[in-house]
Amino acid sequence: MFGRAVFSVLWLLMVPCAPAAAQDTDSAGQVEEIPAYTGPVVFAARIVAEYPHDDSAFTQGLLWHDGSLFESTGQEGQSVVREVDLETGEAKQERAIPADQFGEGIALWEDEFVTLTWRNGAIHRWDADTLEPVASHEGFPLEGWGLTSSEEGLIHSDGSATLRVLDPETYEVRRSVDVTLNGRPLRRLNELEMIDGLIYANIWMSPFIVAINPEDGVVKKIVDLQDIVGSVPVSGTDAVLNGIAWDADKRRLFVTGKLWPSLFEIRLIETDARVR
């Protein structure tokens, strides 16, 4: 039932059944069975702690850095980059994105934060200690949705099924990878976070996070947050799950949503379910 529920809510996909087991021949001429791909592992989310969150924040990006939570928000005239007190949800420091721009994802590169804008073609950089603006780049040709960093560079999403690795200085595309779930494109990739070598991504307008292999784009895990999403007292189509932050030192995972009054620390629990 658990796996079936996950399948039914991922309505935006057309996911085929897993193929039958293949056969191969070893060096001795013996036929051996090659196990069929059984789909990504489904994880449940257990709440470890709940913290207050600014319910006026249209959360677009979330990350943990140097013992603090940082957040980027959207909406024209309301978009900001800020450091947030985990215990109170209040901003410790904050900088405004230009009022005519719609802020999107945030990533850390060296000692600076990099933030996207949705359709404005602007990318901004901020000092990671003071949040003072450092530089801006105009004319980025793609929509900005989510952003995270890896050893390769900045990893960018634009709401499609494609992730792009960007040069962190010029923002030119170094390479692209198409994200697939059981062989089919997975669209609406939104906020991103790199965790233990996998790219975790919110799927916009869904209660799921997926973990993606950055090399081939294959979804390896699905995190089912239906219970948490259903428990949050929000209304309206915009108040969706969005925001993933990873505290690597203490191995803590945080999630929140747009206009949510709460931020959750969660622990992932592997289930026996697979999405096929």
Q: In the β-sheet with 133-137, what is the strand arrangement from edge to edge?
A: 103-109, 112-117, 123-127, 133-137
Closest among 148, 175, 153, 149 to 162, alpha carbons compared: 175
Confirm if 191 and 202 have CB atoms less than 8 A apart. Answer: yes
pLDDT for 263 equals 98
* CB neighbour list of residue 268: distance below 8 Å, 6 or more residues apart: 43, 44, 45, 46, 223, 253
Confirm if 208 and 219 have CB atoms less than 8 A apart. Answer: no
Confirm if 133 and 154 have CB atoms less than 8 A apart. Answer: no
Cα 219 to chain center, whole Å? 13
Closest among 96, 215, 109 to 171, alpha carbons compared: 109
Q: In the beta sheet, which residues pair with residue 126?
A: 113, 133
Q: Say if residue 130's pLDDT is above 90.
A: yes
pLDDT for 20 equals 35
Query: DSSP 3-state assignment of 21?
Result: coil
DSSP state for residue 109 in the 8-state scheme: E
DSSP state for residue 161 in the 8-state scheme: S
| β-pairing verdict for 162-166 and 173-178 | antiparallel
40-274 maps to which CATH number?
Answer: 2.130.10.10
Q: How far is CA 158 from CA 131, 142, 151, 155, in A?
A: 25, 7, 20, 10
Q: Give the predicted TM-score (pTM) of the model.
A: 0.88
In the structure encoding, which two tokens stand for residue 108, read together?
């850390």
17 confidence band (pLDDT: 50, 70, 90):
very low
Q: Which amino acid would we find at residue 21?
A: A
In the structure encoding, which two tokens stand for residue 269, read together?
């629990």
pLDDT for 205 equals 96
Give mean pLDDT, residues 61-90: 97
pLDDT for 273 equals 82
Query: How far apart, in whole angstroms, are the C-alpha atoms of residue 111 and residue 125?
Result: 10
13 confidence band (pLDDT: 50, 70, 90):
very low
Give mean pLDDT, residues 197-213: 98
pLDDT digits 0-9 by tens, 237-276: 999 999 999 999 999 999 999 999 999 999 999 998 888 7
pLDDT for 30 equals 53
Query: DSSP 3-state assignment of 82?
Result: strand
Give mean pLDDT, residues 122-136: 98
Query: DSSP 3-state assignment of 240?
Result: coil
pLDDT for 275 equals 80
The mean-pLDDT minimum among 21-35, 86-100, 106-120, 144-158 falls in 21-35
Q: Which amino acid would we find at residue 198?
A: L
Query: DSSP 3-state assignment of 6?
Result: helix
pLDDT for 54 equals 97
Query: How far apart, in whole angstroms, are the C-alpha atoms of residue 260 and residue 62?
Result: 13
Confirm if 14 and 181 have CB atoms less than 8 A apart. Answer: no
Q: Say if residue 10's pLDDT is above 70.
A: no
Q: Say if residue 186's pLDDT is above 70.
A: yes
What are the residue boundaries of the structural domains of the chain, listed by start? 40-274
pLDDT for 34 equals 45
Q: Say if residue 14's pLDDT is above 80.
A: no
In the structure encoding, which two tokens stand for residue 28, read together?
């001795």
Q: Which amino acid would we find at residue 194?
A: M
